[in-house]
A and B are shown apart, each in its own frame.
Chain A
């Protein structure tokens, strides 16, 4: 049977979360179809067709799919899922919103946020904020799964030449309306795909002090993140949050500044290859998982680090 991947995109571009999801699909089967549901989404469909490993792109181009509302996309997924053994989506806010609605329509118990594939019906996923790993076996005939994008390599964005097939729209169910968005604009790399992340916590004391981290981030071409405490305190917007209920990141280098290391924060970053912790409290739990720990007042350490990076 074929595998269906639901692409995350903004009609113009495919989001980076789609690429590891395609890699996960390749571990389940050879014939991979990717659904691009949007409006005026030809560019996103063309880009998807070029991703290595994609066999076919299913383009559902209609006004009701423009903003990816779950109420409208889920019936489309329901309609085409029967042709597939597995339906995969990234465990991003996009996938988390749509997939369970589709799963319930199909009477399927979705498997969320898997970090490894053991076989076609057996998967590993973190539970309790990653403090335990559950190996679970699905008994459903069609398996709906969301993918933890940090534990699967990104598929190559180039090299494929899939055909693009139009699929019929399923109509606007008329339950909700997109009003608008306030998306954070940044010249820096995206948090979930950046090779280096510099994050600040409550120790930053206010939003203005994040400028210090931004200077370090600029020298390293890094993304800037934050702990829940910093977001709750209003220092930075919600989309900076790394943790159990925020974003999960696994960069080559994660620099945690003024972050104590609460369980729910570690859940979002402990798969990083190298972790640096800078904190004046030498008892901070973050030091227990840091490869390099520097016990120092961050207001002294961060400018020195910036200078040392040249």
Chain B
């Protein structure tokens, strides 16, 4: 089975984002970028499937500006076999990304597309679900466990009430949640080897996809500030303040 892993380059999860003064977005210049943490979990799972012998080839794919190539190299250094870059400077919405991925799936014919449940920049949580609709494939979202059988995946999903188990007929789309695995770090020899792994380049036009945004971002602002309050020294003082000052108990 071939696995396709879509990955995204985002601001590093440990960086505090800053809103631009002109309210056009958040500051991306001179900010440390990294692979979206949920995408790392998806890449890791694909590698583990390959190590277990159920997957022959892992293809990582990223859509975005030229420097998304760096994120592909990270995926290749972790253990993916080859990369596909869909290069565009147009800001991509989940629907457009899904259409690009559909075109790649039609070229590559994977048995599984595994991807993060959301990217930590837009927090949309849409791409996997949308891709599943466009392909007419089975869908497992927010997955924390995958069991692979001949013609199906049985997945455990993290839902609001606890866990849910669903059997998906292959081919499938699986979006991964935090508890699926702990992604590995790429070793230095593997980082060197990754530089030689092949990466194919496409544009949205090559794939025949119109990526014109549907949603217009009018402004991006700071969230309402929340100030630090007061310190208390004892349980009695805390309870007294919650009762008489805040009036919440």
The answer to whether A179 and B154 have CB atoms under 8 Å apart is: yes
Minimal beta-carbon separation of B217 from chain A (angstroms): 5
- CB–CB B158/A238 < 8 A: yes
Are A129 and B214 neighbours in the complex by a CB distance under 8 Å? no
CB contact list, A290-306 vs B, under 8 A: 290-295, 301, 304-305
Say if the beta carbon of B178 comes within 8 Å of chain A: yes
**A103, B142: Cβ atoms closer than 8 Å:** no
Smallest Cβ-Cβ distance to A109: which chain B residue:
B214
Closest to B144 in A: A238
The answer to whether A244 touches B218 (Cβ under 8 A) is no
What's the Cα separation between A186 and B130 when bound, in Å? 34
- Are A181 and B163 closer than 8 Å at their CB atoms? yes
**B interface secondary structure, majority:** mixed
- What is the chain A residue whose CB lies nearest that of B168? A176
Q: What sequence of 0s and 1s flags, for each residue 127-162 of chain B, a beta carbon within 8 Å of any chain A beta carbon?
A: 111111110111111101000000000100111111
User: Counting CB contacts under 8 A, is B188 at the interface?
Assistant: no
Contacts of B216 in A (CB 8 A): 136-137, 139
Query: Considering the chains assembled together, what is the distance between the CA atoms of A156 and B72 in angstroms?
Result: 50
Chain A interface size band reads 35 or more
Name which of B98, B222, B226, B235 has the most chain A CB atoms within 10 A of its CB: B235
Min distance, Cβ B18 to any Cβ of chain A, angstroms: 9
Interface residue B246 (Cβ < 8 Å from any Cβ of A): yes
- CB-CB under 8 A from B221, the residues of chain A are 132-133, 135
Q: What are the interface flags for A156-172 relative to B under an 8 Å C-beta threshold, 1 for contact and 0 otherwise?
A: 00000000000000000
State whether the Cβ of B65 lies closer than 8 Å to any Cβ in chain A: no
**Distance (Å) between the CB of A120 and the closest chain B CB?**
14
A235 contacts B by Cβ under 8 Å: no
Contact A129 B134 (CB under 8 A): no
- Residue of A99, A135, A252 with highest tally of chain B CB at under 10 A: A135
Whether the pair B142, A93 counts as a contact (CB closer than 8 A) is yes
Cβ of B90 to closest chain A Cβ, rounded Å = 13
B169 to chain A: which residues have CB within 8 Å?
A: 174-176
User: Interface size class for chain B?
Assistant: 35 or more
- Complexed CA–CA distance, A140 and B94 (Å): 14
Contacts of A129 in B (CB 8 A): 120, 123
Q: Separation in Å of the A174 CB from the closest CB of chain B?
A: 7
One of B75-83, B191-199, B237-245 at the interface: B237-245
Q: Is A105 located at the chain interface by the 8 A CB criterion? A: yes
B205 contacts partner chain A, Cβ-Cβ < 8 Å: no
Shortest distance between the CB of B92 and any CB in chain A (Å): 11
Contact of A133 among B126, B159, B165, B222 (CB under 8 A): B222
Most chain A CB within 10 A, of B38, B118, B122, B123, is at B123
Chain B residues contacting A292 (CB-CB under 8 Å) are 229-232, 238, 241-242, 246
Given contact pairs A70-B139, A132-B220, A239 touches B228 in the complex (Cβ within 8 A):
no
**Which of B128, B178, B213 lies at the interface centre, i.e. has the most chain A CB atoms within 10 A of its CB?**
B178
B133 close to A139 (CB less than 8 A)? no
Contact A134 B220 (CB under 8 A): yes
- How many A-B Cβ pairs are below 8 Å? 264
Distance, CA A135 to CA B180, complexed state (A): 33
CB distance from A19 to the nearest CB of B (A): 15
| Interface flag for A102 (CB, 8 Å) | yes
Asked if B105 is an interface residue, CB under 8 A from chain A, the answer is no
Contact status B166-A69, CB under 8 Å: yes
Q: How far is the CA of A288 from the CA of B231 in the complex (A)?
A: 11
Write the chain B residue with the least CB distance to A254. Answer: B248
User: CB distance B94 to A100 under 8 Å?
Assistant: yes
Residue in A closest to B15 when the chains form the complex, CB atoms = A263
- List A contacts of B98 (CB < 8 A): 104
B223 touches A133 (CB 8 A): yes
A65 within 8 A of B: no
Taking a contact as CB atoms under 8 Å apart, the answer to whether B215 and A109 are in contact is yes
Chain B residues positioned under 8 Å from A173 (CB to CB): 136
- A237 to B249: give the CA distance in the assembly, Å: 27
Q: When chains A and B are docked, how far (Å) is the Cα of A92 from the Cα of B160?
A: 7
Which residue on chain A has the smallest CB distance to residue B225?
A289
B26 within 8 A of A: yes
Does any Cβ of A come within 8 Å of B59's Cβ? no
Given the interface pairs A137-B216, A228-B178, the reply to whether A126 lies near B223 with Cβ below 8 Å is yes
Besides the known contacts A109-B215, A110-B94, 6 further A-B residue pairs in the complex with CB atoms under 8 A apart? A101-B132, A109-B214, A126-B123, A131-B19, A181-B159, A263-B13
A-B contact pairs, 16 of them (CB 8 A): A93-B142, A99-B129, A100-B130, A101-B133, A103-B133, A104-B134, A109-B94, A122-B218, A136-B215, A137-B216, A174-B169, A192-B160, A238-B177, A274-B246, A294-B238, A305-B238
| Top 5 closest pairs, chain A to chain B, by CB | A100-B129, A291-B229, A104-B133, A104-B130, A308-B235
Interface, chain A (partner B; CB < 8 A):
67, 69-71, 74, 92-94, 96-105, 107-113, 122, 126-140, 173-184, 192, 196, 220, 228, 231-232, 237-239, 244-245, 247, 252-253, 263-264, 270, 273-276, 287-295, 301, 304-305, 307-309
